[in-house]
Amino acid sequence: MGLRIIVFVVVLLGVTGSPTVTIRPEAASVDNSTHPNRVPETAGETQIFGQQKVLLEEAEVDVMETGELNPNHYPAQRAAKVVQHYLNTLYGSPYRVFGLHRVHSGNAEDLVNSGRKYQLNISVQELISNKTEKCSAEVLFPRGEQQRSSQVQASCEELLKINTKAQEEALYQQYKTSQSVLTAHLPDSYGHIDPDMEPFWRLGTVASSFVMLNESTEDTLYNMAQVANITQLATENDQLKFDYHILLHEMVSQEIIHWKLLFTWSPAEGVKVLQMEQLPHCHDCEIPPTTN
């Protein structure tokens, strides 16, 4: 057994976007706990949008634990969150966003030449329809001097049948032909997001999953904290194109990390990330109240 430590697991709520959006500095200090469109960082913590529920749990964690895992402890939770990001990168859209609902069971195996493999039984929730499905998943965190992305396999067939084509096509047609420049504060000074901005907020959640999937390790727990700025760019090849500035909360170090994302979206092609750039660290930044 490896080193045993005492940790406090704090799960906060969050949400899910808009063309040319800028948050005023004062908006970051607003209490958004009553915002109706916030979705849970772990969907199982609450199923009611607009309510914040904080789970504070003292857990004894074995850092290099193998065999059967405690579903509520960091090792199982971290691996399960990677599955959430994986599903969003493949199937997420402005009208379909996946969240971790619950970890039912899991075990870890140390593979000498490959890394550590986690096998999980979890529940995944589609956060807009509020539908939940039990899924089996496997996550491999590679070992080596050079960090490589985790490898994920997951089976959640029922959630993938949720039909959002009509809403996606309507949004696509509206913004493909729009010549106006939209600006908004996300959220505004009262913690509010206009309903027509919500799909772009959720689009930011899906796009941020590409970063979190790529950056996640056994020692991290990422969460999208805030969308700081959105710019809609000229449409190319029938794809809506966006420049997003997002803030990620790394919950272990409590650091807020800024990322610039350039990506496209269409109903036919989904989200395609063209560029991910980590911006300079902001060690003194205050954690935004909109943390997932």
CA separation for the pair 182, 251 (Å, rounded): 32
CA separation for the pair 127, 116 (Å, rounded): 30
* Residues in CB range of 47: below 8 A, 6 or more apart: 40, 125, 130
Contact 67, 133 (CB under 8 A): no
**Structure confidence at residue 61 (pLDDT):** 43
CA separation for the pair 13, 290 (Å, rounded): 7
Strand 131-142, strand 115-126: pairing:
antiparallel
pTM exceeding the 0.85 threshold for the entire prediction: no
CA separation for the pair 62, 68 (Å, rounded): 12
**Structure confidence at residue 194 (pLDDT):** 82
**Structure confidence at residue 188 (pLDDT):** 59
* Residues in CB range of 268: below 8 A, 6 or more apart: 238
Per-residue pLDDT tens digits of the chain, which is 292 residues long: 444 444 333 333 333 333 333 333 333 333 443 333 333 344 443 332 333 333 333 333 445 568 999 999 999 999 999 999 999 999 999 999 999 999 999 999 999 888 999 999 999 999 999 999 999 999 999 987 677 889 999 989 999 999 999 999 999 999 987 755 555 556 655 667 788 889 998 999 999 999 999 999 998 999 988 888 888 888 888 999 999 999 999 998 999 999 999 999 999 999 999 999 999 875 555 555 543 4
Q: Give the number of other CB atoms < 10 A from CB of residue 243.
A: 17
* Residues in CB range of 138: below 8 A, 6 or more apart: 117, 118, 119, 120, 152, 153, 154
CATH architecture of the domain with residue range 4-278: Roll (3.10)
**Structure confidence at residue 284 (pLDDT):** 55
CA separation for the pair 206, 219 (Å, rounded): 22
SS (H, E, C) 136-181: EEEEEEECCCCCCCCEEEEECCCHHHCCCHHHHHHHHHHHHCCCCC
For residue 15, give the 3-state DSSP assignment: strand
For residue 203, give the 3-state DSSP assignment: helix
**Structure confidence at residue 197 (pLDDT):** 87
In the chain, the amino acid numbered 174 is Q
**Structure confidence at residue 50 (pLDDT):** 32
